[in-house]
Structure 1
Amino acid sequence: MSRLTANLLLLLTAAVWGGAFVPQQTAMRVLSPMWFLVLRFAVTLVVMAPFVLRETQRASRPISRRGWGAMILVALAFLVGNILQQVSLLTTSVANAGFLTSLYILFTPFAALALTHEKPGAAVWPAAALGLLGAWLLSGGLGGGGTIGDLLVTLGAVAWSIQIVLIGRTMRAVPRPLMLVAVQAAAIVLACGAWAMVMDPISLDAIVTAAPEVAYAGLLSGCVGYSIQAIAQRHTQASDAAIIFAAEAPFAAAFGALLLGDSLGSGQWAGMVAIFAAVVLVQLWPSRPEAAPAEAPPAA
């Protein structure tokens, strides 16, 4: 596979992940956030099961207790990020959620500094300021038009940044990516399922009505998106992948406008431009060290 082909596949993946914000929101017309997460990742878990089994059979050694502990930490960060992102969509738009989620690229160097003592590059400081300005504009600025959803999705971006750092460290020690995907999905199914069965009513009609959204998020965004990422990133540079994945945010905004009729004010458009510029700046600055492939952004 050529580098161009790999990059085009990664762009397709960014489009799939950006488009996932729409079914994540529309499914909540009939499902609670927790039930949507349970059903979405149950689909991912079931479909991934045979591939995880094959990976386990081919493994040269079993996963150690320490390895399982590292995977569970990754899964906890993944769980928090997904819950905050999903609940945020009750009160924020698809466009806002997509762009505010992209702030994890700015938060990741700070998470790496805290967790692994890796110092951020010089570009991080101006990019962080630009990104925070963009987030402020996107959430309403001086007009005060921000919502609790904007705050939740921004906090979720912090959780995603922690997950990115932990994935890099975990995959270097335990090279079992499909098992990690399964552990993350299982964590959401168990934790969100326990809450949903006690707190949130559900009906068979609701599940049937939301089946297309669940299928998209569970199959395309989860299984297919992760698989394309794993294959394509073997044939391109990590810096290429990170920049391409930043396109997830404008794809989310485009799908929200086309399918849901989301409209944005001039200040919000300015905020989107500022966030996207910050993302590109932190990736293109010459002194920035190249990130490991395992540290690519997460799916929506």
Structure 2
Amino acid sequence: MKKENSIPVRNSLLLLLTATIWGVAFVAQSVSMDYIGGFTFNAVRNLIGALTLLPVIKVLDKTHSEAEKKRESSASGRKTLLIGGICCGIMLCLASNFQQFGIKYTTVGKAGFITACYIIIVPIIGIFLKKKCSPFIWIAVLLSLCGLYLLCLTPGEGLAVGKGELLLIICAVLFSGHILVIDHFSPLVDGVKMSCIQFLVCGILSGVPALLFEHPNLSGILAAWLPILYAGVMSSGVAYTLQIVGQKNMNPTVASLILSLESCISVLAGWIILGQHLSSREIFGCVLMFGAIILAQLPQKESAVL
């Protein structure tokens, strides 16, 4: 029983680490745009992410049991892994590129708030997929939305829907789909291998418009080597893999709540690393979000006891 109870806690910590890496990655993402285009950035970072996981896969393969190796090497196992990786890669490519270009046409605050609205889109889509949510989780979703509003939007700033906002709304829907696709495939396949395929697909798909419209050059990529390396190794290779592993056997709505902390952590990172002070409004927004995450865990703990 203790081992079963520890699984949601372990997964929650993995997703919290994911959100932390993504939150800090906003700095890398912003800096890189001074040197290269959005498609180029996403193409290079995801290809680096795929390469990063190759030695990890080789090491982890040695730890798998004979039963796991037999299941993974079967025709059906390979097919499920390939389909899952391709589906995740397509969703990630669409979502990340809509986000990248949406940020160009609106404020960072609005971008953070609208993107993180997947926390309410996921349970709404889940209703149609017959995924039930307890009242505690719905309250946690509303608390998180209030926290994100206080954290990301300045007083008097409206939410008029312009070009940037429309792109980010589409991005939020696509990230919701990405979370639900991972929820479906992660219990069926090796998470690290699926993550590697995901990055390869996303990198190739992003590379096509990069070559057609942005004409990337080596000097620009080398000039942005540090943010690209962080985004490729940490944000892509490490964080998205942690997301796949952490979401395994977890309620997708709870997972989306924890992952939405990336907006909160990005503000905290700016405060700690760059010396950007938080207002009382922003601090209260952080408190609401952290409170929502704690509240979202309560139903799982109760169900485990039962």
Bucket of the pairwise TM-score, normalised by the shorter protein: 0.7 to 0.9
1:196-252: CA deviation from partner (whole Å, max 9, x where unpaired): 101113232211111000000111222233556677889x99999777545422211
Whether contact under 8 Å (1:14, 1:247) holds in the other structure is yes
Whether contact under 8 Å (1:106, 1:131) holds in the other structure is no
1:68-92: CA deviation from partner (whole Å, max 9, x where unpaired): 3344223222222211222233245
Which residue is equivalent to 1:38?
Answer: 43
Deviation, 1:37, is: 0.2
Which residue is equivalent to 2:265?
Answer: 251
CA distance in 1, matches of 2:127, 2:60: 32
Which residue is equivalent to 1:297?
Answer: none
Distance change (3 Å), C-alpha of 1:278 and 1:52:
same
Deviation, 1:259, is: 5.7
Bigger drift between 54-63 and 215-224 goes to: 54-63
1:111-140: CA deviation from partner (whole Å, max 9, x where unpaired): 2223x3223332454455555556666456
Alignment of 1:36-185 (within 5 A): 36-52=41-57, 58=69, 59-62=72-75, 63=77, 65=79, 68-92=82-106, 97-114=111-128, 116-132=129-145, 138-139=152-153, 143-144=157-158, 148-173=163-188, 175-185=189-199
Whether contact under 8 Å (1:43, 1:218) holds in the other structure is yes
1:249-274: CA deviation from partner (whole Å, max 9, x where unpaired): 22111234566687888777766666
Deviation, 1:49, is: 2.6
Q: Secondary structure at the match of 1:144?
A: coil
Gaps of 5+ in 1: 291-300
One-letter identity of the residue aligned with 2:206: C
One-letter identity of the residue aligned with 1:29: D
CA distance in 1, matches of 2:125, 2:303: 16
1:165-184: CA deviation from partner (whole Å, max 9, x where unpaired): 221221233x2212211221
Q: How large is the Cα RMSD of the aligned pairs?
A: 4.2
| TM-score, length basis structure 1 | 0.73
Whether contact under 8 Å (1:84, 1:156) holds in the other structure is yes
Which residue is equivalent to 1:212?
Answer: 226
CA distance in 2, matches of 1:152, 1:205: 30
Structure 1 or 2: more helix by fraction = 2
Bigger drift between 276-285 and 3-12 goes to: 3-12
Deviation, 1:156, is: 2.1
Deviation, 1:26, is: 1.3
Query: Given the alignment, which residue of 239, 247, 257 partners 1:225?
Result: 239
One-letter identity of the residue aligned with 1:119: K
Deviation, 1:5, is: 8.8
One-letter identity of the residue aligned with 2:130: H
Distance change (3 Å), C-alpha of 1:284 and 1:87:
farther
CA distance in 1, matches of 2:33, 2:208: 18
CA distance in 2, matches of 1:72, 1:100: 26
